[in-house]
C-alpha cells in the first residue's frame, strides 16, 4: 500500500477490524518512513451475474424478480413455497455456473418452464404466456395442445 503522505510503499498494519456488515475490513496502517497513520478498506470485488434480454440489453440477475414471476404464475395454485424457492435456486445456480458470468434470459426461462411443467400445468401456461410473449390466441392454443 502506498502512503498517501510520502508515497513510500512499506507500511505496517497497526489495527484490523471487520465492518459491522461483515462486508469489508478496515485496516489502520503506519508508514515506515514518515510514521504517519492512514486507514484502508478491503472489500470483495463483486462482478454481478448478468442476464441477456431478447433485445440484447444486459441486466443484473435478481433472485427476487424471478421469485415474483413464479409467485404470479402460481397464484391460487397448490404449489409449495419451498418448491418455488428451489426453482429460484436452480435458476441462480444456472446463471452462476456460466463461465462468462451471464446467460440469455431465454435459457433461464426455459429452465424455469421445465420445472413448472412438471409441477403445475396451469402455472406453467401462465409463466409461458409471459415468457414466450404469446401474441394471439392461436399461439396460446398451440401451447395448450402440446400438453
Other CB atoms closer than 10 Å to residue 129's CB: what's the count?
14
80 within 8 A of 94, measured Cβ to Cβ? no
H-helix segments, the chain: 63-73, 81-96, 105-119, 121-131, 137-146
Same domain? For 34 and 55 the reply is: no
The CA radius of gyration of the chain, in Å to the nearest whole number, is 25
- What's the angle, vertex CA 105, arms to CA 43 and CA 115, rounded to 5? 105
Q: Report how many domains make up the chain.
A: 2
Query: Does residue 4 belong to any structural domain of this protein?
Result: no
- State yes or no: pLDDT of 21 exceeds 90: no
Q: Which domain holds residue 93?
A: 50-146
Same domain? For 57 and 73 the reply is: yes
Other CB atoms closer than 10 Å to residue 57's CB: what's the count?
10
Rounded CA-CA distance 127/118 in Å is 13
Same domain? For 139 and 67 the reply is: yes
pLDDT category at 48 given cuts 50, 70, 90 is confident
Same domain? For 132 and 62 the reply is: yes
39 within 8 A of 15, measured Cβ to Cβ? no
Query: Does residue 2 belong to any structural domain of this protein?
Result: no
Same domain? For 38 and 81 the reply is: no
72 within 8 A of 65, measured Cβ to Cβ? no
Phi-psi region of 98 (alpha: psi -120 to 50; beta: other; left: phi over 0): beta
Query: Does residue 3 belong to any structural domain of this protein?
Result: no
Give pLDDT tens digits for 23-32.
789 999 999 9
Q: What is the mean pLDDT of residues 90-115?
A: 91
Mean residue pLDDT across the chain: 88
Same domain? For 25 and 74 the reply is: no
pLDDT category at 1 given cuts 50, 70, 90 is confident
Question: Looking at residue 135, what is its pLDDT?
Answer: 66
Amino acid at each position: 500500500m502506498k502512503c498517501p503522505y510520502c508515497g513510500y510503499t512499506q507500511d505496517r498494519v497497526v489495527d484490523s477490524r471487520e465492518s459491522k456488515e461483515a462486508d469489508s475490513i478496515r485496516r489502520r496502517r503506519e508508514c515506515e518512513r514518515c510514521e504517519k497513520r492512514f486507514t484502508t478498506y478491503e472489500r470483495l470485488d463483486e462482478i454481478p451475474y448478468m442476464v441477456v434480454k431478447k433485445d440484447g440489453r444486459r441486466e443484473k440477475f435478481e433472485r427476487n424478480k424471478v421469485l415474483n414471476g413464479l409467485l404470479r404464475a402460481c397464484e391460487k395454485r397448490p404449489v409449495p413455497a419451498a418448491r418455488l424457492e428451489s426453482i429460484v435456486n436452480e435458476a441462480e445456480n444456472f446463471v452462476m455456473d456460466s463461465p462468462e458470468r451471464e446467460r440469455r434470459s431465454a435459457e433461464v426461462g426455459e429452465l424455469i418452464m421445465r420445472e413448472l411443467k412438471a409441477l403445475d400445468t396451469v402455472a406453467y401456461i401462465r409463466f409461458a404466456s409471459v415468457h414466450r410473449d404469446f401474441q394471439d390466441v392461436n399461439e396460446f392454443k398451440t401451447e395448450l395442445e402440446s400438453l
